[in-house]
Amino acid sequence: MSRNSHPNTGSGSRTARTVEFGRTYVVRPRGKHQATIVWLHGLGDNGSSSSQLLESLPLANIKWICPTAPTRPVTLLGGFPCTAWFDAGELSEDGSNDWEALDASAAHIANLLSTEPADVKVGIGGFSMGAAMALYSATCYTLGRYGNGNPYPVNLRAIIGLSGWLPGARSLRNKIQSSHDAGRRAASLPILLCHGMSDDVVNYRHGEKSAHSLNSAGFRNLTFKSYDGLGHYTIPAEMDEICNWLTPKLGLEGFRP
């Protein structure tokens, strides 16, 4: 597992304010390299814990890139600084969105994927705020641009969101329906959403609402899995679901159609 530090000047943002991303952890594929997925941690966590979770999965053909978010004051925590992909007053699509930080983080993530070989399929996954970030990246890819209008450079092939929500849900449908290309990309992008029905941090209804918003905006290739009794954490059954879903979606070795 290698570790690199990636400062980022917020290439997706309008201002020159430098955002320092933390350390990036890489889990290398044990077999033939067929896919690369950036995995995004939740609020206050880091890339190291993501990499430890992912390296135990039976997915030998995937390279996992696990970045660490910048440390920033978080409104939800009364301004206390911790690792966060963007500032949030609440963990739901009802909160006001920190568009500048969403764009800067989405650009950092796309940057991590942009140097992968052309024959390697790329995707983004995450937990909680990381899932929100993965879904925001999915909307940038679909629209072909970040919120600030800069072009989105990566061709995403899979999105996974655990216990998360969709930033910008309210305006998404209108934006996608105004572009034929966006509609086509939305219809073909595979998305897996999982949410615990006893989640007391990001309420289950926010996960359900996000799935509905994506569906009505034209994301037809979407799977939503609910887990009875699951709180705001991951369980082996959920990780098994990811493995079973990713293998055919990315055509990984061992998949028999």
Residues serving a catalytic function are: 128, 199, 232
Strand segments, DSSP code E, in 134-221 are 156-162, 191-196
Residue 197: CB partners within 8 Å, gap ≥ 6?
204, 226, 227, 228, 229, 230
Burial class of residue 69, CB neighbours in 10 A (0-12, 13-18, 19+) = buried
Spatial separation of the C-alpha atoms in residues 101 and 36, rounded to whole Å: 24
- Sheet with 222-227, edge to edge strand ranges: 2-8, 19-27, 62-66, 35-40, 121-127, 156-162, 191-196, 222-227
